[in-house]
Structure 1
Amino acid sequence: MRHSQKSAPQVNAGSMADIAFLLLIFFLVTTTISADKGINRKLPSHCPPGTDCTLEINERNILRIVLNSKNELMVDGDITKIEDLKAITKVFLDNNGNGSCTYCNGTSIVSLSDHPKDAVISLSTSENSNYATFIAIQDELSKAYYELREVYGYSVFGKSPDKLNASEIIEIKQAYPFILSEADTK
């Protein structure tokens, strides 16, 4: 009598590795990887051409903002909430301290800036400062400039920001230049 042994059918596993490899390559090639853009801010050169970098800045034209290691925001030595920073910045920039600004709406407070073109915002941070808080401060400063520029656009050109042409945008940016000095505290 013959003994019958049935062998189980076998699957060729050699091609399985090839298929897995091809799928891996397919997904690597077709996947898009997003790139983080970071902060959209152009860093100034050491000393821009046509600028006197040895010129001393009057103390009243500097708004000193400090973010310490405990993430406390200090504006000119006083602890301040981030929510109040935009209003403080707008009052500082639009002050018209020397009376020469024809478009400023400020109240000419003696301790604040002479003119928006002379105003400098000094932002100092600790190396232990929270990055999210730093970005929130940057946002508030940008909002202050945007709102002042928007008011200028309406009063001078009678247009909303999205209706301005390139030369009008340049004029607005020259009226309220974003002069920001960033430094790390020791």
Structure 2
Amino acid sequence: MARKRNRESAEVNSSSMADIAFLLLVFFLVTTTIPNEKGLLIQLPPADTEITDVKLKERNVFTVRINSADRLLVENEPLEDVYRLKQMVKDHVMNPRREGDKAESPEKAVISLKNDRGTSYDRFITVLDQLQGAYYEIYAERAGGLTAQEYRNLDRTDPRQLELYNKGKEGIPMAISIAQPTK
């Protein structure tokens, strides 16, 4: 005679599965780091200010244009090598003899950057880096022969380093005007 087995069917106990899933979720939320990318550190004017035209002498303005094909036009002349731009800006701002078409003084020098809507972000950032890099090199030289990277890494909470930082920037504002893109 066949014996009847009184076994229950094999099942996986899933009563604690929700607890395990919850613990895993909490673990990954606590241990995961989310990168905090800052993007472009550009200070925008307040939204409630009126836009007014400022009249500048043409010799104080250094113009840089980027077209939709990512080609540069610097002072109405084509420029193939974007890395020459940094030295051109330094020459314009720090013109020691105040001759020719260079700025009257470092305080009055303005860099005007304008691009087309079709300009690639990569090209825009490269050009903007060169423009800002020129100013940081000027500041670093004036602060006592530092490199631009050393100047940017000065700890402004330390009074001695803050003094160096202010010495570099004194009288020379980073005047980079970014105009609305054209179509």
Bin for the TM-score computed over the shorter chain: 0.7 to 0.9
Asked if 1:75 is matched to 2:74, the reply is yes
Confirm or deny: 8 A CA contact 2:98 2:105 kept in the other structure: no
SS in 2 for 1:79: strand
Report deviation, 1:107: 4.6
Unaligned stretches of 5+ in structure 2? none
SS in 2 for 1:181: strand
SS in 2 for 1:154: coil
The aligned amino acid for 2:92 is F
Q: Structure 2 CA distance, aligned partners of 1:4 and 1:143?
A: 87
* Residue 101 (structure 1) aligns with: none
Confirm or deny: 8 A CA contact 2:138 2:168 kept in the other structure: no
* Residue 182 (structure 2) aligns with: 185
**Which stretches of structure 1, 4 residues or more, deviate above 6 A after TM superposition?**
none
Matches within 5 A, 1:1-12: 1-5=1-5, 9-12=10-13
Confirm or deny: 8 A CA contact 2:113 2:177 kept in the other structure: yes
Indicate how the Cα distance of structure 1 residues 55 and 67 shifts in structure 2: closer, same or farther if over 3 A, else same: closer
Q: Structure 2 CA distance, aligned partners of 1:45 and 1:120?
A: 20
The aligned amino acid for 1:140 is Q
- What CA RMSD, in Å, does the superposition of the two structures yield over aligned residues? 2.8
Report deviation, 1:11: 1.6
Report deviation, 1:71: 0.9
SS in 1 for 2:64: strand
Confirm or deny: 8 A CA contact 1:68 1:129 kept in the other structure: yes
Q: Structure 2 CA distance, aligned partners of 1:56 and 1:43?
A: 20
* Residue 109 (structure 1) aligns with: 99
Asked if 1:148 is matched to 2:138, the reply is yes
Query: In percent, how many aligned pairs have the same letter?
Result: 34
Confirm or deny: 8 A CA contact 1:117 1:174 kept in the other structure: no
Indicate how the Cα distance of structure 1 residues 121 and 20 shifts in structure 2: closer, same or farther if over 3 A, else same: same
